[in-house]
Amino acid sequence: MAVSGLIMLGYLVAHVAGNLKVFFGPEEFNAYGHWLRVMGAPVLHHHWALWLVRIVLLAAVAAHAVSAYQLSRRDLKARPTAYVHRRKRASYATRTMRWGGIILGLFIVWHLLDLTTGTVHPGGFEEGKPYQNVVDTFSTWYGDIVYITAMLALGLHVRHGFWSAAQTLGLGNARRERALKFLANALALVLTAGFVSVPVAVMTGVVS
């Protein structure tokens, strides 16, 4: 759970940095999209590096989902009956980790069908023109709602997940607790703000 989560977190940091190139205009953003398809050339063939990244991410998502299911089953097996006395109320992020994971899983499917394959893309999907496709998606009210809702769930998931991963991997202790909590909050805030800024920019006409 922890290792697969950190792999995906590393991808998210790179992904949000790439997404923010949309603010530099269609030429630069489309060039970035083209680079993703040819990165590693001429050592690697066209699309090979991109598919390698996709396979690693798919494996990480699958490992994360399986781990979540196994941990959930262990929790139920260890405590098949409810507590007589209510335990201390957990944080909002902790209580919504499972639902957040489900929301993000469904969002990944929608996101790929929208901006990778174009299957559910509004208007005419243009292969090799990610800038125009992004503008199309976020020019619809439902595209904005789906994306922003998923990014808010992502922020909560990262905030709690990073902290949990640090504890699982033995990085947490009393001395580092404040720094780790700050880093978890900062990562969640930066990622959420970075991703959400794109649909907001399209809605407000900053990106068009």
pLDDT one-digit tens code per residue, 47-70: 899 999 999 999 999 999 999 888
Q: Cβ(97)–Cβ(160) under 8 Å?
A: yes
What pLDDT score does 175 carry?
Answer: 74
What pLDDT score does 169 carry?
Answer: 81
What pLDDT score does 31 carry?
Answer: 96
160 vs 17, more confident? 17
- Residue 83 tokens, joined: 């507590």
- Whether residue 76 is predicted with pLDDT greater than 90 in this model: the reply is no
pLDDT one-digit tens code per residue, 138-187: 999 999 999 999 999 999 999 888 888 887 887 766 777 788 889 989 99
| Residue in 11, 28, 29 with CA at minimum distance from that of residue 130 | 29
Segment holding 175, helix H or strand E: none
Q: Cβ(199)–Cβ(138) under 8 Å?
A: yes
Q: How confident is the model at residue 86 (pLDDT cuts 50, 70, 90)?
A: low
What pLDDT score does 190 carry?
Answer: 96
Q: Cβ(101)–Cβ(68) under 8 Å?
A: yes
- Residue 37 tokens, joined: 């398809």
What pLDDT score does 119 carry?
Answer: 94
What pLDDT score does 82 carry?
Answer: 57
